[in-house]
Amino acid sequence: MKLMAKAIRFFVFSIILIIAGNSYSQNALQKKVSFALTNQPVEKVLAKMAQSGGISFSYNSDLIPLDSIVSINFKNSSISKSLYILLGRDFFYKTIGNHIVILKKQKEKIEKSKKIVCTFSGVIKNHTTNEVIIGATIYDLNKNYSALSDSTGFFKFSFIPETEFVGFSFSKEGFNDTLVFIKYKSNTTIDITLFPKKKPEEIIEKIKPKEINQIPPFNINDYKIVKTFVKPDMLLHANNLLLPDKRTFQFSILPTIGTNRSVSGAMINKISFNTIAGYSNGVEGVELGTINITKQNVEGFQFAGLGNVTGGYTKGFQAAGIFNRNAGNVSGFQLSGLSNIILDTLKGLQIGCFNYVKTNRGLQLGFINLADSSDGLSIGVLTIVKKGYFNASLFIDEMLMPNAVFKMGTHKFYNIWGLSASQEMWGLTYGVGFHRNQERKLSLNYDLSFTNMSFKKTFETQICMKVKLSADINYRINQRFDLFAGLSYNMFASDKIIDLALQNYIDKTSNSKVNSFDFRSVRMQHWPGALLGLKYRI
């Protein structure tokens, strides 16, 4: 019981630590600036700081003494420290991407008994058309609370103020963000207008593109598992809030139950824990969970007991017990117990039972590997590359046994499937190989194949295996046909309980000397051979 109590206390402490750390984010405030100004107003210092740091500020001009004259000299100083030196300790800051909102602390704490719930309401409209805007995000910059405008454009936000002025962000996909600061009072009603984003002028005449067969663009919101765990309002918030905020810690049980609340899809996390499922804008560090859903990019380490769904690129290490699905490039290592799907380019290592990548520029290892095109290597029992290596061939060997073989994969690695037959024997073949100098008139194939042979029976269940290692030279007759000839070395393993006529048949039909030895209950026969045939390029 004591051990259980300690474990519970540790878990609760960890959650409290994560929640407490949620307010800190190493982002725009950590950028460095270096400049000096003498006898200049605070307003000009803020403008210079924004220019030097590549950031922007938002603030209520009534809260900051913009006309005060100061002299400063910053040398490789963080923006956070520079703001403290310039404005003092009465302010705190909220970052949204490279945007910093300056907020003033409440001078006197409000007693709990005197705290009241305030409401902020209004209607959100399009500034150009005066039409109401449905599904706009209203975001409390202090507490991460959010709301959406309804079908009439109306919004209502309830909050308990902790500062004299409270900042709200209004965002909608296709519109410019708007920040509003309201002074603490019980009820406030303001109608908000959002400006549509200007579309770049179309200078070049539109040309209708030709239709080609390709995979349709992947929208992470259309994926079934996303629709199961992520509510529609969270998807709207994620689409509306285009400047992602960064958080050091995040913990969630479900996307709707977590420290980032309904705006989790707009957050980039450095350390993320998802008990059942989590939803975020991105990962820049470590993410652990059962199901991890990332709207944009993953940089670092990501592990899921069940699966990872990523809408952007992945750089680093990604592992899942069952599946990984990525819309963008994967650079690094990807591992799953069942399947990996990359709808763009692999530049690393992919391991799973089933692997798919649009463009392979790395290494695929799996039972089944699929790709549209490949400059890399795909190794598996079945490898299919749409723009890869396909050919069918007919040949005879030193036993004058006809063979039909189909090869598919890439020039660097392909699978071999075949059938061989004679009057008294037939066999099914599987093998692997690679093709060299494929662009030349003369090219080389190196193959290793395994053929299960049957002698005067429908299918031999005892040990009856032929192994062939061969090298052949291809002469390109035209674009489709090759004539090829080569040398091989063969080994035939058969159980002694099989009729001795089988071993005798090998001795009789081979046109080269057959050597043999016994290994326990297995008779091993081996001999050099040759092959001659015609190949058709598909």
Q: At 214, which amino acid appears?
A: Q
* 525: phi then psi, degrees, rounded to nearest 5: -120, 135
Q: What is the mean pLDDT of the chain?
A: 84
User: 247, 323, 354, 344: which is closest to 24 by C-alpha?
Assistant: 247
| Window from 55-59, 215-219, 516-520 with minimum mean pLDDT | 215-219
What is the spatial distance between Cα 253 and Cα 11, in angstroms, rounded to a whole number?
14
What is the spatial distance between Cα 65 and Cα 262, in angstroms, rounded to a whole number?
35
Residues pairing with 256 in the sheet: none
* 461: phi then psi, degrees, rounded to nearest 5: -95, -15
User: 30, 195, 180: which is closest to 129 by C-alpha?
Assistant: 195
Average pLDDT over residues 115-141: 88
What is the spatial distance between Cα 503 and Cα 507, in angstroms, rounded to a whole number?
6
What is the spatial distance between Cα 135 and Cα 150, in angstroms, rounded to a whole number?
6
Residue 203 reports pLDDT greater than 50: no
Structure-block tokens of residue 145: 């609370």
**What is the SS3 assignment for 26?**
coil
**What is the SS3 assignment for 334?**
strand
What is the spatial distance between Cα 296 and Cα 283, in angstroms, rounded to a whole number?
8
3 state SS for 205-259:
CCCCCCCCCCCCCCCHHHCHHHHHHCCHHHHHHHHHCCCCEEEEEEEEEECCEEC
Residue 419 reports pLDDT greater than 70: yes
If phi > 0 it is left, if psi is from -120 to 50 it is alpha, else beta; for residue 202 that is beta
Q: Where are the alpha helices (DSSP H) in 74-190?
A: 79-87
What is the spatial distance between Cα 79 and Cα 369, in angstroms, rounded to a whole number?
50
CB 325 within 8 A of CB 309: yes
**What is the SS3 assignment for 138?**
strand
pLDDT at 514: 87
What is the spatial distance between Cα 174 and Cα 239, in angstroms, rounded to a whole number?
10
Q: Percent of the chain, pLDDT > 70?
A: 86
Residue 8 reports pLDDT greater than 90: no
How crowded is residue 68: how many other Cβ atoms within 10 Å of its Cβ?
Answer: 13
Most confident of 209-218, 356-365, 496-505: 356-365
Q: What is the DSSP string of 336-347?
A: ESSEEEEEEEEE
Residue 339 reports pLDDT greater than 80: yes
The band of 108, judged by pLDDT with boundaries at 50, 70 and 90, is: low
